[in-house]
Amino acid sequence: IMTSNISSRSLDKGTSLGFHKDDAEMNYDRMQKDLKQDLKRTFNPEFLNRLSETVVFRPLDVEHIVSILDVQLLQLNEQLIQQGLTLDVTTEAKRWLAEKGYDKSFGARPLKRAMQKHLEDVLSDEMLKGRFKSGGVIEVSLQGDTLVFTEKSGALNAC
């Protein structure tokens, strides 16, 4: 399985593919046809012939990124459970992280970097400082433009 962002520049411009950037529903058939033409212009026929199938996905929006973030937060929580901790991220904090990790051209790829920078790195530093007790629940909320880590007992712990 391979992924590519071929035509992402065209999608960002919108009008070059025959639809406006602000349209609620893009003309998917037209977009798919144009993207496949871009594939043919970008790759040699010999390479394309070796592919079993080409799938064109609809562009992700922030709500999709929030769903992907939820999956990644479940994975992070599984790791934290081994340390005797649980993470509880507020809806506002999730949305903020999703927006930091969203790029129309790159889809969900920047999300992991945003999670590492704004959540995992800070959380790791706080854990190394011994600020969270085993068995505790860490709430991650948003204050202004900053994630705040608070132990459910009410003590402010990070950021």
pLDDT reading at 150 higher than 70: yes
DSSP 8-65: HHHHHH-GGGTS-TT-SS--HHHHHHHHHHHHHHHS-HHHHHH-S----PPPP-HHHH
- The confidence score (pLDDT) of residue 25 equals 52
Contact indicator for 88, 139 with CB cutoff of 8 Å = yes
CATH 1.10.8.60 fits 62-151, yes or no: yes
CA atoms within 13 A on the CB side of 102: 18
The letter for the amino acid at 29 is: D
- The confidence score (pLDDT) of residue 157 equals 39
Listed by start position, the domains of the chain span 8-50, 62-151
Question: Among all chains, which residue has been given the structure tokens 């992280």?
Answer: 97
How confident is the model over 34-67, as pLDDT tens digits? 888 989 999 999 999 999 888 887 778 888 999 9
Determine the Cα–Cα distance for residues 58 and 78; give it in Å rounded to an integer: 30
How confident is the model over 13-39, as pLDDT tens digits? 554 444 444 453 556 788 888 888 989
pLDDT reading at 86 higher than 80: yes
Residue 76 in tokens: 């992070």
pLDDT reading at 88 higher than 70: yes
Rg of the chain, C-alpha, whole Å:
20
How confident is the model over 91-126, as pLDDT tens digits? 999 999 999 998 877 778 899 999 999 999 999 999
- The confidence score (pLDDT) of residue 12 equals 57
